[in-house]
Amino acid sequence: MLCNLFKNVQIFLHESFINFLYPAVQISRSLVLVILFSGSCRVDRGIILQINFNSTEKSLVRAFGEAYHFANAAIELEEGLVNYYRLFSGYEGQEWYELRYAAGDWCLELYQILMSSRLCSRCEGILVGPQSLRQENPHHTSASDLIRAANDGCYICGIIARSDAFESLDSSVIFQATWYLTPLSGRQTGWFKLTIDAAPSEEEIEMMDEEPSDGSQSDSVENVEDGFGMPEVPMWVFYLQPAVDVEDSITQSEPPPSLDDPELLDLAQSWLSDCSSGHRCGERQSDFRPTRLIEILSSDHARVVIAHQEPSIDLYATLSHCWGKSKRLKLETTNLDKLRANINIGELPNTYREVIAICIGLGLRHIWIDSLCIVQDSWDDWQHEALTMKDVYQNSALNIAAAASAESTQPSFLRRDVQKIRPLEVSTRWTSQEIRKYYLINGAMYEDEVERAPLRQRAWVVQEIWLAPRNLLLTKNQLWWECCEREACESYPRGLPEALLSVDWLEKQDKSSINKETRWGKLSFVYNRWDSLVKTYTSCKLTFPSDRIIAFTGILQHFQEAIPNDDCLAGHWHSKLPQSLSWVSLRDRWSYRPAASRAPSWSWTSMEGPVAFNHTPEFAENGVVKVVCNIRDIQMVRVGPTDGSDLKSGWLKLSGHLTRVGCIEGHLTVEKNDGSFDFIQGSTDDSTGSPKKDNWTAVEFDENTKSGEIAMSYLDGLTCYALLSGDFSTCQRTVISWDALEKEMYSFPIIKWEQDNTSWSRGLILCETVVESQRVFQRIGSFTISGLVPAFKNYNGTYKT
C-alpha cells in the first residue's frame, strides 16, 4: 500500500514544493542531498523528487518543521505533501486519505528523530546559517511554545522551563523571548555566551505595577518569597565551550538516576580521596573530638557516643541541613541513655538516612548531626556546643550538605534530570565557517542548584560551609563538590572551567590563604573577606533573631586567629572604626531591629535583615578614603566569655559634624533660617524622588515593614543605668513610619572621597534622645552625598549610643 512509501524516513516531494519551502526556512540547499531521478524512475504514476535525510541533513527538516508547526498541528505539512502527491500522481478518493494518514505518521516519526539531537528548531537556528553576534534575534514567541519544545526534549528550553524565573512568570504578560550571542575574551577566547531574554518591556512593567481596577490583588506577587514581590528577571545564560577546551573535564557517560547508585558513591569517593591525599585544604587538630558523635553500627542501627570515651574515633563527617517544621528524633535529657544504646536508622528522617548511607559508602563510621549530638532541651549544653562549631566543622573529614531539602523529610535530587546534567555536544554550521564542535552548558547551573537552594537561605549554614574543609552538596539535580582547591559536579567531575567557578568557591579558596596573607601583611584582603561574609550571612534567615551573633561566632573565631592583634566590637573590627559604621541596610526583605535589644544601633548586628559595608568605595580615586570624624571613647557591655557572642550592649562617643536634617522623598533636607526644611542649595534633589546624575543626596533608612514600607525604630525610656549595664528591660522599642518621627533627626558624616572628579561623602542618620541631661543618639539610617554641595550648618555635639 501507499504507507510503504513513507518508511525509512524518506519523503517524496515535487521540486516545486521544495522551492516553496526554501524561502520560508532560509536554509542552504547544500545541507540536503537531492537526487532527481529520470523518467525511468517512477512511483506508480508521476515523476518525483527523492530527498534522503541523513545526520547532516536534519537542519532543513527542523527548519520547515518549525515553520509549519507540525509538532503542534501537522496538518499543514500533511496537506502540502498530499496535495502535491495528488497533483503529480493522480491519487483520488480513498487512496488520497490513506496517503494523508501515512503523511501524518511520517511527520510524527520524523519529529521524534529530529528531537533526538535535543535542540528544537528555534535553538538549532542559533547554530546554523549566518552567525549573529551581539544582536537580538527572536526565540519562542509564547510560553506554551517553549514548554512544548521542553517537553519534546530540547536541552535549552528544558532548562529554561524548569527554572524558578520561568515558573514565576506573570501569565498576564506576553512572553516574547529573544536571544543574542556574545563572544568571550581573555582566557575564554573562543567561547560564546548565549543569553535568552524574556524580560518585559518598560510598558509591560508599568502595567504589572498597576493595581486591578476591581480592587483585587494582582496574581504577580502571590507566593513570592524573594523580597517584596520582586519578580526574578526572566533571563537565562548558557555557554558554548569549544570541545578542545573542556572535553577532558566533562563527564563521559550519562549520570545514574538515583543517589544510591554505586557510580555516584565512587565519584564522591574519588573527590574525597584526591583532596585528602593531594590537597592542602586545612589541617585537622589531631586531638579534637566533638562532645558527641553518631556511631554508624550498620545500615540499620547507630548510637550516640561520647567521643572522648571512644579512643578509636579518627575521622568523622558533619551534616548541614534544614530542620524544617516536621517532627524528628531529637537528643533530649529524657532519651539520652536510650539513644546511646541504639538508634533505629529506619525511623530517622529521609535526610539523615541519605547521609548515613553516603557515610557507609565512603567508609566513614561517625557523623555529627546537630539535633542528635546537642541536648536540645538544655540551654547550657546548647550554649556550650554552639561555641564549638568552629572546631566541629573545621576538623571534619567531610561536611555533607543536604542543599535541596527544605525539610529533613524531603529527599535530595527532587528534580533530577539526567538529560540536563551532561553538557550537550553540538556542532555549529555558521555560514562561511568551518564546522566546529562545542559543549553547551547552563551558565547559571551553580546559582540554580546551590546558591538558591533552601539550605543556603539558612544563616547557621554560612559558617558551616565556610569552616568545613570539604563539602559534598546534595542538590536538586546533582552532586557538587567544594574544597579549597577544587569545585566540581557531575557535569564537570574533574573541576569546573574558570568561567563557571562560583564566587562562593572563590571566597572559600581565599579562606585557605587568610593566615598566609596576614603573615605577608595583606590585612586588607582579610577585612574584605569579612565584609563579604557579613553580607552573605545577613542575607540568610534565622528562626530565632537572638541567634544573630552566636550563629556567626565560628567565623569570628576563625578571623580572630588570623588577626590576633585586632578586636571585634559588635561585629566591627576596632581597626576599621569609625569608617565601618557607614554600613547600609539593603532592605530587599523585611528589615528591622527586634524588640529585645541585642546590640547597639550603630552595629549591623542590631539588624534583622541584609546589610552591606560601604566604607571602601570601589571607584574612589587612587583608593583614598578620608575619615571625617573621630572616636573619643568606646564602651562594650559583655557577659560570660569574651569570644564575641556575649555582647549585651555598647556605645561610642564620636566627635564630628552633626547637622539637623529632614528627609523628603529619599533626599536630605536642611534647616533654613526660618526654621523650615528644604533641599540643600545647589543640589539637584526635588520632590519627585527620581535619581539625578550630579549633585544629589540619598537617604537610606535601616528598617521597613513586612509589606516593604519604610520605617524606623528607637528605644524609649533609656537611662544611664541601662546604657552602662546593658539592661534594657525597662525600655521599650518604638516603631513608627519614617515621616512620623517626633524626635530631632541629624546627619553625621563618616567618610569622604573623590570619584570621577566629584566629591562624595557618606554617613549616618541619627535621632536624638535626652538621657538625664545627656544627648544620646540612635542610628536610624545612612546617607550618601554626591557632588559639590555646600557644607552643612554645624552643631556642636557627640554621638553616643
Q: How many residues does the chain have?
A: 801
Phi, psi of 7 (to 5 degrees): -80, 165
- pLDDT category at 127 given cuts 50, 70, 90 is very high
Instruction: Give me the torsion for CA of 703, 708, 709, 714, rounded to 10°.
Output: -20
Exposed e or buried b per residue across 106-143, where buried means at least 16 C-beta atoms within 10 angstroms of its C-beta: bbeebbeebbebbbbbbbbbbbbbebeeeeeeebbeeb
pLDDT in tens, 23-73: 333 333 322 222 222 222 223 322 222 333 333 333 333 333 333 333 333
Tell me the H-state helices in 363-406.
370-373, 379-386, 389-394
CB 780, CB 701: distance < 8 Å = yes
pLDDT in tens, 752-769: 999 888 899 999 999 998
Please state, in angstroms and rounded to a whole number, the distance separating the CA atoms of residues 454 and 175.
Answer: 28
pLDDT above 60 (res 798): no
* Beta bridge pairs of residue 584: 612
Write a three-state SS string for 682-726.
CCCCCCCCCCCCCCEEEEEECEECCCCCEEEEEEECCCHHHHHHC
What does the DSSP 8-state code read for residue 448? I
What pLDDT shows up at residue 471? 96
Please state, in angstroms and rounded to a whole number, the distance separating the CA atoms of residues 258 and 323.
Answer: 23
Please state, in angstroms and rounded to a whole number, the distance separating the CA atoms of residues 671 and 680.
Answer: 9
Position 300, amino acid = D
What pLDDT shows up at residue 640? 61
Provide the grid cell at 325. Answer: 517544621
Tell me the pairing of strands 398-401 and 424-430: unpaired
Question: Could you tell me the CA-to-CA distances from 605 to 170, 343, 507, 594, 600 in Å, in that order?
Answer: 37, 39, 22, 11, 8
Please state, in angstroms and rounded to a whole number, the distance separating the CA atoms of residues 89 and 2.
Answer: 12
Q: Kindly give, in sequence order, each residue whose CB lies less than 8 Å from that of residue 91, ignoring residues fewer than 6 positions away.
A: 2, 85, 99
What pLDDT shows up at residue 699? 92
What pLDDT shows up at residue 107? 44
pLDDT above 90 (res 610): yes
Residue with cell 555549529: 428
pLDDT above 50 (res 84): no
pLDDT in tens, 420-456: 899 999 999 999 899 999 999 999 889 889 988 999 8
- pLDDT category at 380 given cuts 50, 70, 90 is very high
What is the residue-wise DSSP string for 496-516? --GGG--HHHHHHHHHTTHHH
Please state, in angstroms and rounded to a whole number, the distance separating the CA atoms of residues 157 and 461.
Answer: 33
C-alpha 203: how far from its chain's center?
A: 28
Q: Kindly give, in sequence order, each residue whose CB lies less than 8 Å from that of residue 290, ignoring residues fewer than 6 positions away.
A: 307, 316, 368, 373, 388, 391, 392
* Beta bridge pairs of residue 64: none
Please choose, from the candidates 150, 144, 72, 74, the residue with its C-alpha nearest in 3D space to the C-alpha of residue 118.
150
CB 364, CB 398: distance < 8 Å = yes
* Beta bridge pairs of residue 705: none
Instruction: Give me the torsion for CA of 559, 564, 569, 571, rounded to 10°.
Output: -10
pLDDT in tens, 782-793: 999 988 655 454
pLDDT above 60 (res 516): no
Q: What is the mean pLDDT of the chain?
A: 78
